[in-house]
Amino acid sequence: MKKIIVAAAAALLAAGAAQAAYKDGSYTGEGKGRESMIQVQVDVKGGKIADIKVLKHGETEMIMAAPVETMIPEIVKKNGVEGVDSVGGATLSSEGIKAAVKDALSKAQ
């Protein structure tokens, strides 16, 4: 039983380490929003997401405000888009931001 617990703990640690294994730098990515392509810049420091900025978009400003204010801090905290919910009423813009972040992070691996 102890061997199973140790193996499970090792697997969880390895999964966590793999998630944080980004190369330091600034990366741009794009994702399709409702009205336009959304371009973001993801800054990686110490192998983790340090900051995300929306560089360009053609979405309605009021619609983009909620995902930018709520999702981006959560993506930084979780070091990725896994488990980050889209914002209701701004679903397509939210999905565009997540796709853009994924695109940028694919360049950081």
Q: What is the pLDDT of residues 46-83, one digit of tens each?
A: 999 999 999 999 999 999 999 999 999 999 999 999 99
Contact 68, 94 (CB under 8 A): no
Indicate the pTM of the whole model.
0.82
Confidence check: pLDDT of 40 > 90: yes
Contact 47, 70 (CB under 8 A): no
Domain hosting residue 32, numbered range: 2-106
What's the confidence (pLDDT) of residue 63? Answer: 94
DSSP string, 24-76: SEEEEEEEE-SSSEEEEEEEEETTEEEEEEEEE--S-HHHHHHHHHHHHHHHH
Return the CATH number at 77: 3.90.1010
Q: How confident is the model at residue 17 (pLDDT cuts 50, 70, 90)?
A: very low
Query: In the chain, how many domains are there?
Result: 1
Confidence check: pLDDT of 10 > 90: no
Q: Which of 30, 18, 11, 1 is nearest to 79 (CA)?
A: 18
Q: And the tokens for 43?
A: 């800054």
What's the confidence (pLDDT) of residue 29? Answer: 98
